[in-house]
């Protein structure tokens, strides 16, 4: 799976519909969809591998949003919605995403309100008062500081909404899945930085031979490995249904967000002036790092919920 995804995203040109190829040739959109709907029946563990590889190349494809939408549909209890949407998602014919962070109301079958952290898609599955509603998108989701993909706020003004069962809490899944993507991005940023300091010469020798840079890169390497461990632990906990899954997902979100920001900052600094030019990718890694850190709640939000959990456990 890993080599297939890496090979495809690495060879696809800028004019190629990468999402269509990933869906048709590898079946990434249907990884976690049961076989009865045309999917592979795999778990978050396999999807995390795909997300990691997509994170390495800052891919704009809607894998993360699609994964959350699939889970929302599988948990909603609406068989008609599942039978209608899941096969289309598998085939890459429709992009669907889930939106739950916001404030909205539904009156007479029309939804109004605003949702944050929404990926661009054909169909939105929005959560209002514990219920899931299907809404045709039609909105141009804008970019944040991360210009590599469309994710942002969407405002719905009396948009027709189809009830699609009960809504599940997707926060932990979102945090764990995003952490896998962040690990891939951080790992690639470090690889590119190591390669650059081996090539860039100053005072007659590679700058990578300077001890201070070696120490900084070694620290970045340790942080990336720790982030990978946190992400994989959270994913495994969700797959196994561990009672600690929520806590571990928060740990992964904090660890991987901070690691990616630190690694991307080192990438920019060690590349020097070239890193802030539009022709170089270093600033794109930094933009992705800061944008993804705020996605599904910034690290301090998850630190706060971890703190409250730890204090409750300590009190008992």
- Phi and psi for 202 in degrees, rounded to 5? -150, 140
Three-state DSSP string of the chain:
CHHHHHHHHHHCCCCCCHHHHHHHHHCHHHCCCCHHHCCCCCCHHHHHHHHHHHHHCCCCCCHHHHHHHHHHHHHHCCHHHHHHHHHHHHCCCCCEEEECEEEEEEECCEEEEEEEEEECCCEEEEEECCEEEEEECCCCCCCCCCCCCCEEEEEEEEEECEEEEECCCCHHHHHHHHHHHHHHHHHHHHHHHHHHHHHCEECCEEHHHCHHHHHHHHHHHHHHHHHHHHHHHHHHHHHHCCCCHHHHHHHHHHHHHHHHHHHHHHHHHHHHHHHHCCCCCHHHHHHHHHHHHHCCCCHHHHHHHHHHHHHHHHHC
Q: Which residues pair with 128 in a beta bridge?
A: 131
Model pLDDT, residue 312: 52
Token representation of residue 100: 């739950």
Q: Where in the chain is the domain with CATH 1.10.540.10?
A: 2-166
What is the average pLDDT value for the chain, to the nearest integer?
93
pLDDT tens digit string along 241-267? Answer: 999 999 999 999 999 999 999 999 999
What is the sign of the dihedral through the CA atoms of 24, 29, 32 and 37?
negative
Q: Which residue in 288, 87, 72 sits closest to 189, CA to CA?
A: 288
Model pLDDT, residue 12: 75
Is it the case that residue 229 has pLDDT exceeding 60?
Answer: yes
What is the distance between the alpha carbons of residues 257 and 235, in angstroms, rounded to a whole number? 16
Per-residue pLDDT averaged across 139-162, rounded? 85
- Give the up-direction half-sphere exposure of residue 247: CA atoms within 13 A in the CB hemisphere: 11
Q: Where in the chain is the domain with CATH 1.20.140.10?
A: 171-315
Is it the case that residue 139 has pLDDT exceeding 70?
Answer: no
- Give the up-direction half-sphere exposure of residue 208: CA atoms within 13 A in the CB hemisphere: 15
pLDDT tens digit string along 284-313? Answer: 999 999 999 999 999 999 999 898 776 555
What is the distance between the alpha carbons of residues 164 and 71, in angstroms, rounded to a whole number? 13
The number of beta carbons lying within 10 Å of the beta carbon of residue 134 is 23
The CATH topology of domain 2-166 is Butyryl-Coa Dehydrogenase, subunit A; domain 1 (1.10.540)
Among 3.30.70.660, 1.20.140.10, 2.60.40.1080, 3.90.420.10, name the CATH number for the domain at 171-315: 1.20.140.10
What is the distance between the alpha carbons of residues 15 and 79, in angstroms, rounded to a whole number? 37
pLDDT tens digit string along 74-102? Answer: 999 999 999 999 999 999 999 999 999 99
Q: Return all residues near 187 (Cβ < 8 A) that are at least 6 apart.
A: 52, 56, 224, 228
What is the distance between the alpha carbons of residues 121 and 60, in angstroms, rounded to a whole number? 12
């Amino acid at each position: 799976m890993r080599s297939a995804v890496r090979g495809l995203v690495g060879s696809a040109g800028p004019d190629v519909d990468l999402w269509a190829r990933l869906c048709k040739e590898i079946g990434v959109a249907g990884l976690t969809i049961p076989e009865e709907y045309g999917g592979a029946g795999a778990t978050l563990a396999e999807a995390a591998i795909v997300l990691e590889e997509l994170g390495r190349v800052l891919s704009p494809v809607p894998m993360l949003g699609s994964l959350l939408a699939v889970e929302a549909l599988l948990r909603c209890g609406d068989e008609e919605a599942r039978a209608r949407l899941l096969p289309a998602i598998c085939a890459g014919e429709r992009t669907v995403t889930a939106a739950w962070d916001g404030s909205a109301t539904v009156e007479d079958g029309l939804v109004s309100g605003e949702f944050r952290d929404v990926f661009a898609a054909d169909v939105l599955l929005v959560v209002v008062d514990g219920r899931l509603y299907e809404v045709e998108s039609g909105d141009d989701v804008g970019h944040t500081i991360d210009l590599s993909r469309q994710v942002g706020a969407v405002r719905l003004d009396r948009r027709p909404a189809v009830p699609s069962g009960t809504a599940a809490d997707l926060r932990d899944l979102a945090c764990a899945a995003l952490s896998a993507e962040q690990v891939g991005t951080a790992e690639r940023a470090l690889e590119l930085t190591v390669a650059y300091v081996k090539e860039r010469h100053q005072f007659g020798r590679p700058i990578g031979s300077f001890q201070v840079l070696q120490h900084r890169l070694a620290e970045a390497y340790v942080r990336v490995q720790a982030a990978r461990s946190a992400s994989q632990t959270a994913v495994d906990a969700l797959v196994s249904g561990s009672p600690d899954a929520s806590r571990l997902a928060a740990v992964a979100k904090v660890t991987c967000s901070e690691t990616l920001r630190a690694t991307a900052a080192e990438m920019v600094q060690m590349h020097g002036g070239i890193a802030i030019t539009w022709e170089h990718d270093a600033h794109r890694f930094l933009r992705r790092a800061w944008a993804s850190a705020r996605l599904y709640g910034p690290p301090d939000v998850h630190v706060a919920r971890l703190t409250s959990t730890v204090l409750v456990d300590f009190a008992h």
